[in-house]
Structure 1
Amino acid sequence: MSEEVNTTNCRFYESKYPEVEDLVMVNVKEIADMGAYVKLLEYDGVEGMILLSELSRRRIRSIQKLIKVGRNEVVVVLRVDKDKGYIDLSKRRVSAEDIVKCEEKYNKSKAVHSILRHVAEKHKYSLEKLYENVGWPLSRKYGHAYEAFKQAITTPEEVFAGTEIPSPEIFDELILQISRRLTPNPIKCRTDIELTCFGYEGIDAIKTALLAGELFDSEKTPLKIRLVAAPMFVMHCTSIDKQLAIDTLHAATNKMREIITASDGNLNVVMEPKAVTASEESELEKQLQGELEDSEEESDEDFD
C-alpha cells in the first residue's frame, strides 16, 4: 500500500521553529491560568504559549478582554526549546509597527502557501517537497518567495532557473496560478479639466489640444478623454502602476495647456489627477448619461 502524500500541510519557512525575537502570527486556542495556548500559523500549527505576565504592560483585570479564543494575534518569540517543543511568546512587547510588519510578511507567506498548496493538491505532490524544491530556495534568493513569484509574472524562466521543479506540468500550473492570483489589477486614475478658447479658431484649437493629449495613450497607459459638458472634459488613464498613470495625466495636461494657450485659450484643472473609486466613476457615468439625455431633449425641441 502506497504512503499517502501530504499535499495540504507544511510550515511556511525552511526553519522548523522560529528564532528568539522573531515576530510570528498565532491563533489563540485556549485560555488557561498560566496564560494563553496558541498555534503558530506559519509553522504548521506548532503549539506555543503567551504567558500571563506577557499579555499586557498594564495590570490585567480580565484576560478575556485582552485576548480571545479564535483570534489571530501578532506576538514575539521569547524562548524556544526545540527538543521539548516549548515556545514562549509575548504580546505586550509587540509595538504597532511590529504588527504592521508581521501582518505584511504573513499575508505574503499565506499567498505563496496558497499557490503551492493548490499545485501540490492538483498534482498529488508532497507540499513539503514543493517548498524544498521551489518555495524555500526562492526565499533564500529573493528574500521572500512572494517577491520571486511577482517577478515570475513577466520573467518566469529567469526566476525559476536553478530550482528543481518536478515536472513541466507542475511548472505550467505554478505559472498559471501565479498569474491568476498575483497579477495586479489595473488602477484607474482621472483628472477633470476645463478647456476654453474664445479666439478666432477656438474650436479647432480645442480639437488640436485634445488630439495632443490623446497621443499619450499607450499600451501600458491607456488614456481616454471624454466631454462631460462644455467646457468640462474628463481624462482617464489606466495602469497597474498608479504613479505612472498619474504622471501620464500630468504630462498630457501640460501638453494640452501648451497648445491651447498658444491660441489664446485656457486650460483649468478642476480635479488634480488621482486614483478614483468605483462610486466616483458611477457618479460620473450618471452625470454623463444626464448630459446625454438633456442633449437629446434639446435636439427634439429644435426639431419641433
Structure 2
Amino acid sequence: MAEEVNTTSCRFYENKYPEVDDFVVVNVREIADMGAYVKLLEYDNIEGMILLSELSRRRIRSIQKHVKVGRNEVVVVLRVDTDKGYIDLSKRRVSPEDAAKAEEKYNKSKAVHSILRHVAEKHKYPLEKLYEKIGWPLSRKYGHAYEAFKIAITNPEQVFEGIEAPSKEIMDDLLLQISRKLTPNPVKVRADIEVTCFSYEGVDAVKAALSAGEALNTEDIPVKVKLVAAPLFVLTSVSLDKQKAIDRLTEAIEVIKTKIEAAGGNLNVKMAPKTVSETDDAELAKLMEKSEAETRQVAGDDDEDSDEEED
C-alpha cells in the first residue's frame, strides 16, 4: 500500500520548536485550573500552556476574562522542554508593540503557507519537502519567504537563482500562485476638507488653492479634488502604495492651506487622509447626489421666481 503523502500540514519555520523569548501566535484550546492549553499555530499546532500566573499583570478573578477558547493570542515563550514536550508561555509579558510585530509576521507566514500548501496539494508533493527546498532557503536568504515571494512577482529569476525546484511544473504553478495571491491591489485614500474665502477674490481664490493641491498629481500617486457641498471638498488618491498616497494628500492639504490663507481664506480638515472602503465611497456618493438634487431644486425655484416677476 502506497504511503500517504502529507500535503496539508507542516510548521512554518525551519526550527521544530520556538526559542525562549520568541513571540508566537497561539490558539486557545482548553482552559484548566493551571492555565490555558494552546496550539502554536506556526509550529504545526504543537501544544503549549499559558500559565495562570502569566495571563495578566492584574489579579486574576476569572480566567475567562483574559483568554477564551478558540481565540488567537500573541504570547512569549518562557521555557521549552523538547524531551517532555513542555512549552511554557506568557501573555502578560507581551507589549502591544510586540503583539503587532508578531501578528504581522504570522500573517506573512500564513500567506506563504497558503501558497505552498496549494501547490503541494495540487501536485501531491510533501509540504515539508516543499518548505525544505523552497520556503526555508528563501527565509534564510531574505529574512522571510514572504519578502522573497513579493520580489518574485516582478523578478523571479533573481529570487529563485540557486533554488532547486522539485519540477518545472511545480515551479510554474508556484509562480502563478504567488502572482495571484500577492500582487497588491490598489488602495483608495481620502481626505475631507472645508475651504472658505470671504475676501474679494472669494470663489476664484478657492479654485486656485484647490488647483494648486491637484497639481501634485502624478501617474503613480494621483490627486483628485471633488466638490461635495460647498464648502466641503474631498481629496482622493488611488495607489498601490498606501503610505505614499497618504503622504501625498497630506502634502496637497498643506499646499491648499498655504494658498487659501494667503488669499485671506481658511482650510479646516474634517477627515485626515486615510484608506476608505466601498461603504465609505457609497456614503460619499449619496451625500454628493443629495447635494446635487438640492442644487437643482434651488435652481428650479429661482426659475419659478423669474417667471412670476415677468408676469
Asked if Structure 1 and Structure 2 have the same fold, meaning a TM-score greater than 0.5 normalized by the shorter chain, the answer is: yes
AA aligned opposite 1:121: E
Give me the identity figure in percent.
58
SS of residue matched to 1:194: strand
SS in 1 for 2:5: coil
Range moving further from structure 2, 228-237 or 9-18? 228-237
For 1:242-253, list aligned pairs within 5 A.
Answer: 242-253=242-253
Equivalent of 1:269, from 267, 270, 275?
Answer: 267
Q: How many residues align?
A: 300
Q: Distance in 1 between matches of 2:254 and 2:99?
A: 42
Instruction: Identify the residue that residue 237 of structure 1 maps to in structure 2.
Output: 237
The aligned counterpart of 2:94 is 95
Alignment of 1:67-86 (within 5 A): 68-82=68-82, 84-86=83-85
Aligned partner of residue 137 in structure 2, secondary structure? helix
Mapped partners of 2:32, 2:46: distance in 1: 18
* Aligned: 1:139 with 2:139: yes
Conserved in 2, the CA contact under 8 Å of 1:192 and 1:233?
yes
Distance 1:242 1:193, change over 3 A: farther
- 1:13 corresponds in structure 2 to 13
Query: Offset at 1:237?
Result: 1.7
SS in 2 for 1:26: strand
2:110 and 2:296 map into 1 onto residues whose CA distance is: 54
Deviation at 1:111, TM superposition (A): 2.0
**1:90 to partner: Cα distance:** 2.9
Moved more, 179-188 or 59-68: 59-68
1:171 and 2:171 are equivalent in the alignment? yes
Task: Give the CA deviation at 1:150.
Answer: 3.0
Distance 1:249 1:124 in 2: 49
3-state SS, counterpart of residue 137 of structure 1: helix
2:23 alignment partner in structure 1: 23
Deviation at 1:285, TM superposition (A): 2.0
Task: Write the deviation string for residues 78-125 of structure 1: whole angstroms up to 9, x where unpaired.
Answer: 44443x352231336633344444333322222221121122212322
Letter in 2 for 1:268: N
Q: Which residue of 1 aligns with 2:288?
A: 288
Once the 2 structures are TM-superposed, how far is the Cα of residue 293 of structure 1 from its aligned partner?
Answer: 1.0
CA–CA distance in 1 between the matches of 2:177 and 2:89? 36
TM-score (norm 1): 0.77
Q: Distance in 2 between matches of 1:232 and 1:58?
A: 47
Worse-superposed segment, 247-256 or 144-153: 247-256
CA contact (8 A) 1:187 1:241 kept: no
| 3-state DSSP of counterpart to 1:20 | coil
Q: CA deviation at 1:280?
A: 4.6
Displacement of 1:50 after TM fit?
4.9
**Structure 1 residues 209 and 100, CA gap change in structure 2 (3 angstroms):** closer
Separation (CA, whole Å) in 2 of partners of 1:255 and 1:31: 57
Name the aligned partner's letter for residue 125 of structure 2: Y
User: Which residue identity is paired with 2:290?
Assistant: G
Report the Cα distance in structure 1 between the residues aligned to 2:252 and 2:56, rounded to whole angstroms. Answer: 54
Q: For 1:246 and 1:76, how far apart are their aligned partners in 2?
A: 34
CA shift, 1:147, in A, is 2.4
CA contact (8 A) 2:197 2:205 kept: no
Comparing 246-255 with 53-62, which one deviates more in the overlay? 53-62
Coordinate RMSD, CA, aligned: 3.7
